[in-house]
Amino acid sequence: MNGAGIHAFGGYVPRLRLQRQVIAEANAWFNPALKALGRGERAIAGWDEDPITMAVEAARDCLARRGRDGIAQVILASTTLPFQDRQNAGVVAEALHIAGDLGTLDIAGSQRAGTSALIAAGQVARGGGGPVLVASAEKRPTKAASPLELTTGDAAAALLVGEGDGLAKLLGHATRSADFVDHYRGQDERFDYVWEERWLRDEGFLKIIPRAVASALSAADLDAGAIDHFCFASPMRRASSSVAKKLGVPERSVRDNLQGMCGEAGAAHPLVMLAHALEDAAPGERILVVGFGQGCDALVFETTEALAEMRPERGVSGYLKRGRADTDYHRFLGVNDLVALEHGLRSEADRQTGLTTLYRNRGMVLGLIGGKCSRCGTVQFPKSNVCVNPNCHAADTQADYPFSEMRATVRSYTADRLTYSVAPPAFYGMVQFEEGGRAMIDFTDIDADATLSVGTPMRMVFRVKDYDARRGFRRYFWKATPEAPCLDAGLPTDDRYC
Amino acid sequence: MATGIRDRVAILGMGCSKFGERWNDNAEDLMHEAFGEALADAGIERDEIEAAWLSTAIEEQHVGKSGMPLAIALRLPYIPVTRVENYCASGSEAFRGAVYAVASGACDIALAMGVEKLKDTGYGGLPQRTRGAVNDLYWANFSAPGAFAQLASAYRARHEVPTEDLKQAMAHISVKSHDNGAKNPKAHLRNRIDEARVLNAPMVAEPLGLFDCCGVSDGAACAIVTTPEIARALGKADLVTVKALQLSVSNGTEAQHNSWDGSYFMTTRKASERAYQEAGIANPREALSLIEVHDCFSITELVTMEDLHISPEGGAVADVMNGFFDAYGPLPCQIDGGLKCFGHPIGASGLRMIYELYLQMLGRAGERQREKEPVLGLTHNLGGFPHQNVCSVVIVGREGA
């Protein structure tokens, strides 16, 4: 039987980092003990981001160098998928324009979803059914003044798993299942119900993980002492060290769980940490990844020389660096619907989406596919029956042409405080693509003090366009965001913020 | 070769309701008010009207679809009534329908009525509504001010105008219109403002502040048109005739092709060139006595001065600051207060503009009357957004001018 390995990897962390101190201070009247968690910052997804959009960004980061050809399956793992019955992985595939002759699968239901997806992908790839793109993303709603509000972060990772060693060979894996419920979120509930942490540590982490890890190490024919990178996602203080000690993994191999700059991204976090480890690892190093939730998944990888050739475009660390400190806790509560915000009468406009309309136009909407004229070569968005070039106007000459990876520049722009937006002002404008074509399009991730101007370089990102709260639907489209937002904002260019 | 509409149709009578927050009136009441004035002015009976055009844009906010609301409100005698909608050029579109009907000989006397009742939404600004099932999937989440605000960024880049200079010229435009509107009993906003107030107003869509935006109001305006011969037979001596009616509609080039830089209106340039040709005007800066343009936003008025070929390209800021378009300047623009002070009941605006030119040419403009009676005037409407829009240009004037 052939082996399997990771052939490409990438990550994504949203731009804004809410300072934990402001969360702790705002809620100190109710629970002063939260101050103990009031250090560092957590990544918070924009109002227009969800696990689908973050997975798309991580996948783009993963596939930037490798390209998208030949992918056989897309798996999306998350416990906060926006749709319960509409395949979320299918939306990711459309956005990446690889939908069609392709398998898609959502994996959910446990904090192990990410690692279980990775194991499933390894098994598929080993059997010759790959390569499989595994994306995992999480945006967990948390109650105000809950410890989870402070320790949780929003992030995503993507890994391409295929036959052969790739850049990190899967040496072995194992799973233990146990209905150990340290927290849960029932049907129709927005928030987690959480049991005592000490029980989770002593009876969960320290008893269940070692059994799974022992089996995985045995399958890999390795000793715990040989592990160079230990990826364990718990935000609980010193939990990683305690578990490592119990496993016999050297303390120096325990990886940063990214609590300082990101927070724990639920089911996605083990994969985020793995993608982060792959950026740091040298060839020939061993990585142990653990996913915990109603049991435990453990995977052991060994990096290869191919590591140097398949770097992500930005990677987890690139996205961590482009963060921007945010102290607006009220805004966070408002955009996440955690306070009863007065959205105003303009918000009542009907946002029903015709499902027939969407399906017919899915290439344009989900894939940002425009057209290219076979007569004059002009590219345009959207595609039309008659070429837009005034000197051509040829009919029926348009072939599909993707715009999502094309760089663009601002032609005109504004910041609109009249139109309804979840997070005003609404920034938008005309962007012009480098190969031709243009679009009047929404902007996103624009800093309050940003100085946009005609000519500002932009890149396209896949985002939620509108929420239809009445029908529980959300529609997606592409938006433009400054290529180097921190530089545009004139922020200090130290290592921390770009 | 078509010769155009010049002097083939005369305005027999016009009417205009008071514009404003007409909380206690329905659209039907506004039409009735405008029509009463026009009918008395025309000196005819209602049943002499043989065809009518009704313009409304956001009909779901008031009268609903079709020509029936006009026919029922005025009890028109089972004549053809057509409802037209062409964004903010709707009022001019109704006028075009009525004028063409008379010019073609299809009827002797026709009515154009525009009405809009916008103040039943519960909030300020234009109603937020769907742009069409497919457009809603990908169009930017723009409002009217946000779409037009972008002219400023593109204009600054194109002509290298400092932000402050452009803001100041825009402020001058709004101050001037308020000065004019203060003298107009039918205007919605009749307060004078100063530059500092404009510049310090809250931002609506950068760089447009509150006073860079026109008001939103309820209103109706109408015109009764006929041939010059019939007008004279009815005892009219000083005739105001139609010189040109042009419309230019974007075909998607601005929105999709990189030949447009966002700083001007392709449609206005084309429609005005054709209108001058139709009216026999060689030099509009010299020939025109008055203009009423679509000042939905101050920046729109500014760039429109160039698109109408009145100011040279890049020269509008200087013309504005030199008072060229002020009420006592060489070519007053919005001498009635404009959309800025009337607000913009979409279906009515085009006809409201023609109404002012008509009053001025007949010496009936009261406190606002130009000393030297105007002979040729132009109205201009823009519907939609700078990157895709409908533009109408109407020229009227004294018969023979």
Which residues from A are below 8 Å from B202, CB to CB? 417
Interchain proximity B142–A349, CB inside 8 Å: no
Interchain proximity B258–A432, CB inside 8 Å: yes
pLDDT digits (tens, 9 = 90+) for B44-81: 999 999 999 999 999 999 999 999 999 999 999 999 99
d(Cα B216, Cα B218) in Å, to the nearest integer? 7
DSSP A273-335: HHHHHHHHPPTT-EEEEEEESSEEEEEEEEE-GGGGG---SSHHHHHHHT-EEE--HHHHHHH
Q: Count of CB contacts below 8 A, A vs B?
A: 142
Considering the candidates B344, B380, B387, B391, report the single residue annotated as catalytic.
B344
Which of A418, A428, A465 is the closest to B204 by Cβ? A418
pLDDT digits (tens, 9 = 90+) for B112-171: 999 999 999 999 888 888 899 999 999 999 999 999 999 999 999 999 999 999 999 999
**The predicted structure's pLDDT at residue B1:** 76
Which of A390, A417, A421 is the closest to B203 by Cβ? A417
CB A14 within 8 A of CB A46: yes
d(Cα A34, Cα B6) in Å, to the nearest integer? 79
**The predicted structure's pLDDT at residue B267:** 98
Interchain proximity B153–A453, CB inside 8 Å: yes
Listed range (A493-497, B37-41, B213-217) with the worst mean pLDDT: A493-497
Give the residue on B whose Cα is nearest the Cα of A418.
B204
d(Cα A326, Cα A25) in Å, to the nearest integer? 14
Give A283 to chain B, closest Cα distance, Å.
Answer: 45
End-to-end CA separation in angstroms for chain B = 23
What is the arithmetic mean of pLDDT over B364-375?
A: 94
**The predicted structure's pLDDT at residue A2:** 65
Beta-strand (E) ranges in B9-50? 10-16
Question: Catalytic residue at B387?
Answer: no
Which of A346, A437, A477 is the closest to B256 by Cβ? A437
Considering the candidates B16, B62, B88, B296, report the single residue annotated as catalytic.
B88
DSSP A446-457: --TT----TT-E
Q: What 3-state class would DSSP assign to A56?
A: helix
Residue A374 contacts B, CB cutoff 8 Å: no
**The predicted structure's pLDDT at residue A451:** 82
**The predicted structure's pLDDT at residue A407:** 95
Burial label for B261, CB within 10 Å (0-12, 13-18, 19+), is middle
Which residues from B are below 8 Å from A436, CB to CB? 258
Residue A211 contacts B, CB cutoff 8 Å: no
Q: What 3-state class would DSSP assign to B271?
A: helix
**The predicted structure's pLDDT at residue A29:** 97
Predicted-complex ipTM score: 0.93
End-to-end CA separation in angstroms for chain A = 45
Q: Residue B387 phi/psi, 5° resolution?
A: -85, -10
Tokens 């011969």, residue?
B229
Which is more confidently placed, B99 or A491?
A: B99
d(Cα A206, Cα A264) in Å, to the nearest integer? 19
Mutate to test the interface with B, among A416, A431, A481 (most CBs of B within 10 A): A416
What is the arithmetic mean of pLDDT over B211-232?
A: 97
Residue B149 contacts A, CB cutoff 8 Å: yes
Counting residues of chain B whose pLDDT is more than 70, the rounded percentage is 100
**The predicted structure's pLDDT at residue B375:** 96
Interchain proximity B261–A432, CB inside 8 Å: no
Which of A380, A416, A475 is the closest to B142 by Cβ? A416
Confidence (pTM) = 0.95
Write out the two tokens for B23: 């909380």
Question: Catalytic residue at B178?
Answer: no
Q: How many helices (H) and strands (E) does chain B have?
A: 15, 11
Residue B184: C-alpha distances to residues A147, B19, B188, B340, B351 (Å):
63, 11, 9, 12, 16
d(Cα A26, Cα A19) in Å, to the nearest integer? 11
Residue B206 contacts A, CB cutoff 8 Å: yes
Q: How many CB atoms lie within 10 A of CB B50?
A: 18
**The predicted structure's pLDDT at residue A489:** 40
Write out the two tokens for B250: 């974007």
d(Cα A215, Cα A221) in Å, to the nearest integer? 10
d(Cα A357, Cα B138) in Å, to the nearest integer? 12
Interchain proximity A440–B387, CB inside 8 Å: yes
Strand partners, B390: B249, B383
pLDDT digits (tens, 9 = 90+) for A254-310: 999 999 999 999 999 999 999 999 999 999 999 999 999 999 999 999 999 999 998
**The predicted structure's pLDDT at residue A449:** 80
Strand partners, A10: A158
Residue B10 contacts A, CB cutoff 8 Å: no
Residue A241 contacts B, CB cutoff 8 Å: no
Q: What 3-state class would DSSP assign to B220?
A: strand
Regions of chain A with pLDDT less than 50:
1, 486-498
Does B177 have pLDDT greater than 60? yes
Strand partners, A414: A428
Q: What is the dihedral of CA B7, B9, B13, B15, to 10 degrees?
A: -100
Write out the two tokens for A91: 């939306």
What is the 8-class DSSP label of residue A72? -
Closest C-alpha to A445, from A432, A433, A456 = A456
